[in-house]
Amino acid sequence: MAYERLRAAHLHAVQAAMEDHIARLDWPRERIDRYRDQRLRMLLGYARERSPFHALVTDSELSRERAERVLAQQEWYSYTPDNYQVFSSGGSSGVRGVYVWDWQFFVSVACLAWRTQARAERRNPPLVPTLLAVLEAGTPPHASTPLFDVPTAAGMETIVIAAGAPFDEVLAKVAAARPTHLVGYPSVIGRLARAALACELDCDPVRVSTNSEPLLDEDRRAIAEAWGGPVHNLWGSTEVGVQAIGCGLGEGLHICEDEVVLERVDEDGAPVGPDEPARRTLATGLANRTFPFIRYDLGDEVTLLPGPCDCGSVFARVADIGGRRDDDFRYGSITVPAITFRHLLGTDPHVTEYQVTQTATGADILSVGRPDVDTLTAAVVAALRRC
């Protein structure tokens, strides 16, 4: 009950901040630069004052032990007594991380994720009841579910469907819900689109948003063919929040320059020009004062797009983040999504790093740490049998 009350208050805070974030979408270039630079100076000053180079965090009450205890004890998403949220992720790197989001940081990230859609719905209010299906991790400790389970229009309902469940189960739940809006992993939504094209799914969403994985051309084409509209893709991270998001009109993704600073650098960390290739991308999030990431290496190579966008926004753009979905395992007609392994291995507090290699009949798993091997093996086997 306490979580539900705080969650409702948090969503109310998101809605209260949304109008300001929507207004920023129309800012001229000079105002974006001025606001970003001011926020960056404030963040660096705050970090310098509260967290000297030898300190671990800016809040002395925070500790890794306390964060791990929150993750271990919570049965559903929760808030600490200081209204922090604690998340964990292994991502594609195979290195587990624990992240703390303060109250205002969640508000900022949620607004970045949803302000483009919220603006569109304010300009053209929906005439029918709306339902958002959230196809994300579905369980703690991943940040995706609370971040994307956010209504953007008056009266909008939401439903969370675990994306890692067997696809037949996901398909049945989406068919039963018949959502007007979809958000989630592109690999899962792409499969739903192909099911719709094969007349296996009666669902006609008016807006589709994707995140957390590379959006492959095959999935984009299937979504466009099945439902006729553009895909609103998002590039984010648990560390920084939302780095960039697509407008649905022009190519690529608009960088959230009012809340994030991105630096394209070479292999030595030196900045490169807009037309030069970059080996790494460093990100500084401007909103998280409790757990700030400054010049954090995202591990992604991004390409800046020249010229104005068809939508009219002057926010800089990057090309869609590339990649191949070669980390899913396929055994004949059975596909095992990478998230099956990431959810179990990337969130186990006793696994600091892991590597999974497909074999003819299963998978070899190498881990660094001291996990309960028998318990972890049983959990992986059970998850694989559900696929």
Write the pLDDT tens digit of every residue in 364-381.
Answer: 888 888 888 888 888 888
Between CA 14 and CA 259 the distance in angstroms is 15
> Is the backbone peptide bond immediately before 52 cis, with ω within 30 degrees of 0?
no
User: What is the SS3 assignment for 245?
Assistant: strand
Give the residue with greater pLDDT, 384 vs 296: 296
Mean pLDDT calculated for residue range 66-82: 89
pLDDT band at 1 (very low <50, low <70, confident <90, very high): low
State how far the alpha carbon of 284 is from the alpha carbons of 133, 152, 244, 272, 316, in Å.
31, 27, 13, 17, 16
Tens-place pLDDT, residues 220-243:
999 999 999 889 999 999 999 999
State how far the alpha carbon of 137 is from the alpha carbons of 149, 160, 164, 311, in Å.
11, 9, 7, 31
Backbone angles phi, psi at 122, to 5 degrees: -75, -35
Element (H or E) spanning 364, and its range? strand 363-369
Tens-place pLDDT, residues 114-155:
999 999 999 999 888 999 999 998 888 889 999 999 999 889
Place of tokens 């798993």: 365
Element (H or E) spanning 148, and its range? helix 144-148
User: Is a pLDDT exceeding 50 seen at residue 25?
Assistant: yes
Between CA 249 and CA 255 the distance in angstroms is 15
How high is the pLDDT of residue 346? Answer: 72
